[in-house]
């Protein structure tokens, strides 16, 4: 993955993300080249039929895809930072 976000004001850029599972029965292309980006203040929703790769593509951003899978040709970069709300939780 290459860190290139921010050059155009974006917070998140995903370019040409592939996630393939190398199983005993062959290669499963869970994600086959998606690209998207987000700017500050925008809300992004992933919509698709069951099995279309919503969960796997999101897990890839967190580097949490299963060991069986490989992410390739991905360019993902983020300037976003996570934070916890201050104060006590109920």
Question: Among the candidate windows 4-12, 33-41, 53-61, 77-85, which touches ligand ATP by CB under 6 A?
Answer: 53-61
> How many residues sit close enough to Mg ion to count as binding (CB under 5 A)?
2
* Residue 54 near ligand ATP by CB under 6 A: yes
Report in angstroms how near the CB of residue 33 gets to ligand ATP at its nearest. 14
Q: Which residues contact 73 (CB under 8 A, 6 or more apart)?
A: 16, 17, 18, 33
* Residue 27 near ligand ATP by CB under 6 A: no
Local structure of 61: helix, strand or coil: helix
> How many residues sit close enough to ligand ATP to count as binding (CB under 6 A)?
14
Q: Report DSSP letters for 65-83, one per residue.
A: --TTEEEES-EEEE-----
Q: Are 4 and 78 in contact (CB under 8 A)?
A: no
What residues line the site for ligand ATP (CB under 6 A)? 21, 23, 28, 30, 48, 50-56, 66, 68
């Amino acid at each position: 993955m290459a860190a290139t976000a921010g050059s155009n004001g974006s917070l998140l850029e995903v370019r040409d993300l592939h996630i393939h599972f190398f199983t005993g029965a062959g290669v499963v292309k869970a994600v086959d080249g998606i690209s998207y980006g987000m700017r500050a203040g925008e809300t992004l929703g992933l919509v698709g039929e069951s099995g279309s790769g919503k969960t796997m593509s999101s897990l890839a951003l967190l580097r949490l895809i299963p060991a069986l899978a490989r992410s390739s040709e991905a360019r993902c970069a983020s300037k976003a930072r996570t934070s916890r709300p201050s104060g006590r939780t109920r």
